[in-house]
């Protein structure tokens, strides 16, 4: 009997913004909520198993049901390493959904205006070696 193999194609259709700052995750969330009129909610920490070791990252979510866009603020650092090792940012803003370039630029501009954010920059998802860590 012939063997069938199922191959799944991973979906990397999301946008990513790297954020550098020196404040705790809950403080950053509050400031982003105020600046962008979001309502991030703390979720269970995001777990990634790498080399047999569980790594946990702070994880916040906001679902914009009117525009069908999902926003996730994820810490890029844990005690055992980085979620995306090739990026030296402190946090990642992951955006899923149909978001226009103008909207993405507007979000980046508003993030730059937040007092405690040092930098906020777009990240090319296709060029990340560890982009599989961002699939959930």
DSSP the chain: -PPP---PPP---EEEEEEEESS-HHHHHHHHHHHHT---EE-SPEEEEETTEEEEE-EEEEEETTTTEEEEEEESEETTEESSTT---SEEEEEEE---HHHHHHHHHHHHHSTTEEEEEEE-GGG-TTGGGG--
pLDDT band with cut points at 50, 70 and 90 for residue 99: confident
* pLDDT tens digits along 58-74: 999 999 999 899 999 99
Per-residue model confidence (pLDDT) at position 58 = 95
For the chain, what are the domain ranges?
14-126
* pLDDT tens digits along 10-67: 555 789 999 999 999 999 999 999 999 999 999 999 998 877 888 999 999 999 999 8
Q: Is CATH 3.30.200.20 correct for 14-126?
A: no
């Amino acid at each position: 009997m012939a063997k069938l193999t199922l191959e799944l194609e991973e979906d990397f259709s999301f946008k990513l913004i790297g954020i550098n700052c020196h404040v705790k995750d809950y403080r950053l969330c509050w400031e982003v909520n105020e600046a962008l009129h979001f309502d991030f909610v703390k979720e269970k920490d995001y777990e990634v198993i790498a080399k047999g070791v569980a790594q946990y990252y702070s994880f916040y979510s906001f679902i914009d049901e009117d525009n069908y866009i999902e926003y996730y603020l994820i810490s890029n650092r844990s005690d055992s390493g980085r979620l995306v090792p090739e990026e030296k940012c402190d946090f990642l803003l992951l955006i899923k959904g149909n978001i226009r370039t103008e909207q993405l630029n507007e979000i980046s501009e508003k993030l730059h205006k937040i007092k405690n954010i040092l930098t906020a920059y777009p990240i090319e998802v296709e060029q990340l070696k560890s982009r599989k860590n961002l699939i959930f």
